[in-house]
Amino acid sequence: MNKKTTPGKVIVIVAPSGAGKTTIAQRLLKEYPKIEFSVSATTRKPRKDEKDGEDYYFLSDEEFDRRIKNGEFLEWEHYSGNRYGTLQSEVDKLVESGYFPLLDVEVKGALNVQRLYNSGAISIFIEPPSLEELKNRLSKRGSETESSLQQRLKRAEMEIKYADRFDYSVVNDDLEEAYTEVKNIIEPFITD
């Protein structure tokens, strides 16, 4: 007799670049075996150590267009000259297997996922303590030009305006405290 798995629910974490979203997401993935990262698709070229199907699905512009036309994306967006999107088939496959897909998506995409999955999704917005602190964090990375830094900060200002549209908002002033707060939010969700 096969044991039927209980469908999982979708966890959406949203934040401006530099707010700590990736660090928090990676820790959740390590701590909770039933949380799985949903692999996104992109039109950008793979970086040195990235693998197709693990880090991203690397698609041509034509393939990305075909999948948009076929309605295969839960959400997609232009970002820094490339397109990124979440394939519904990837999320549904994880949910049906009893996993809790973790989506790391942009604000508008997250709102769409929240709308589509309704009570089957939980959304958490990670906020920086201030735009000045966000600027400091992005500058410390050493990977930003002055122009790209200003673009990210302008985008962050826009994204922060949407924070109240999500189920929860967590200010990442201290990483340990923010991570504990996120854990306290998701634990009842993944154990009910």
pLDDT digits (tens, 9 = 90+) for 131-171: 888 888 888 877 677 887 788 889 889 999 999 999 999 99
Residue type for 52, please?
D
Any known ligand binding at 110? no
Q: How many CB atoms lie within 10 A of CB 111?
A: 18
Which runs of E-coded beta strand occur in the chain? 10-14, 35-37, 40-42, 56-58, 73-79, 82-87, 100-104, 121-127, 168-171
State the CATH architecture for 10-191: 3-Layer(aba) Sandwich (3.40)
Q: Which token pair is 16?
A: 């401006």
Which pLDDT score, from 0 to 100, does residue 32 have? Answer: 95
Any known ligand binding at 19? yes
Q: Which token pair is 138?
A: 């992005």
Any known ligand binding at 41? no
Handedness of CA 95, 91, 9, 129 (dihedral sign): positive
pLDDT beyond 90 at 104: no
pLDDT by residue (tens digit) across 26-76? 999 999 999 999 999 999 999 888 899 888 999 999 999 999 999 999 999
Which pLDDT score, from 0 to 100, does residue 105 have? Answer: 83
Which pLDDT score, from 0 to 100, does residue 5 have? Answer: 40
Q: How many CB atoms lie within 10 A of CB 172?
A: 24
Domain ranges of the chain: 10-191
pLDDT beyond 50 at 25: yes
pLDDT beyond 80 at 192: no
Reported pTM: 0.84
Average pLDDT taken over every residue of the chain: 88
Phi, psi for 75 (deg, rounded to 5): -160, 155
Which pLDDT score, from 0 to 100, does residue 8 have? Answer: 64
Q: Which token pair is 22?
A: 């990736």
C-alpha 90, offset from chain centre = 14
Any known ligand binding at 16? yes
Which pLDDT score, from 0 to 100, does residue 144 have? Answer: 72
Any known ligand binding at 156? no
Instruction: Summarize the confidence of residues 117-132 as an average pLDDT.
Output: 90
Instruction: Summarize the confidence of residues 87-92 as an average pLDDT.
Output: 92
Any known ligand binding at 18? yes
Which pLDDT score, from 0 to 100, does residue 2 have? Answer: 32
Which pLDDT score, from 0 to 100, does residue 3 have? Answer: 32
Which pLDDT score, from 0 to 100, does residue 7 have? Answer: 53
With a CB cutoff of 8 Å and minimum separation 6, the contacts of 95 are: 7, 8, 9, 10, 101, 120
pLDDT by residue (tens digit) across 2-22? 333 445 689 999 998 889 888
With a CB cutoff of 8 Å and minimum separation 6, the contacts of 94 are: 8, 36, 38, 100, 101
Buried b (16+ CB within 10 A) or exposed e, 48-76: eeeeeeeebbbbeeeebeebeeeebbbbb
Any known ligand binding at 22? yes
d(CA 8, CA 68): 25
